[in-house]
Structure 1
Amino acid sequence: MPRRILQGVVTSDKNEQTITVLVERRFKHPLLKKTVRSSKKYRAHDEANQFKTGDSVRIMECAPISKSKRWTVVTEASA
């Protein structure tokens, strides 16, 4: 199974080796045929504490690291 890779924006970097990433997705509503925006926050492992609030990053699924962390930062996303 390939691991999922998502792109989002860092909303918090206050924890040690952890960042919170807001991932937004857009889809067409099945009945209204209108584009809807939906967002979700993921906690990701940042080994070197190099990413700061506002950075655009890519995160990849991984084995559970802690109770809430199941993602790790792959790289900074290009603009």
Structure 2
Amino acid sequence: MIGIEVEEPKERCDDPNCPFHGHLKVRGIILRGRVVSTAMQKTVVVERERLHYVPKYERYEKRTSRYKAHLPPCIKVEKGDEVIIMECRPLSKTKHFVVVGKK
């Protein structure tokens, strides 16, 4: 158990950076987003959309944020899947999140 209600993967892995089977501790922010890229090894790019109010025009505009997240081998995701990512210690220069489940 990693502290939140997500289903533990049935497949086992020996990745030290897996929050379920390795030694990686997760804490802080929990986000939901859509996978837009799986081109990197053990890494996915997750995108979140939100609406931002523009007072001058009294309208909303879409804004997006992209996060690079570590993908343990025991979790299988494809481009377009909705995933839950959780904050962890810095794993590289730009990776500070890890995928903990699919939605």
Matching residue within 78, 97, 100 for 1:52: 78
Computing the radius of gyration over CA atoms, which structure comes out larger, 1 or 2?
2
Alignment RMSD, CA only? 1.6
How far does residue 51 in structure 1 lie from its aligned partner after superposition?
1.1
> Identity over aligned residues, as a percent?
34
Q: Spell out structure 1 runs of 4+ moving beyond 4 A.
A: none
Task: Evaluate the alpha carbon distance shift between residue 30 and residue 60 of structure 1 in structure 2; reply closer, same or farther with a 3 A threshold.
Answer: farther
Counterpart in the other structure of 1:70: 96
How far does residue 14 in structure 1 lie from its aligned partner after superposition?
1.4
Counting only pairs closer than 5 Å after superposition, residues 1-79 of structure 1 correspond to structure 2 as 3-48=28-73, 50-77=76-103
Paired residues, what number?
76
Where structure 1 has 5 or more consecutive residues not aligned to the other structure, the ranges are none
- Inter-partner Cα distance in structure 2 for 1:71 and 1:23: 14
- Inter-partner Cα distance in structure 1 for 2:45 and 2:56: 32
Normalised TM-score (structure 2): 0.66
Q: Which has the higher contact order (CA 8 A, sep 6+)?
A: 1
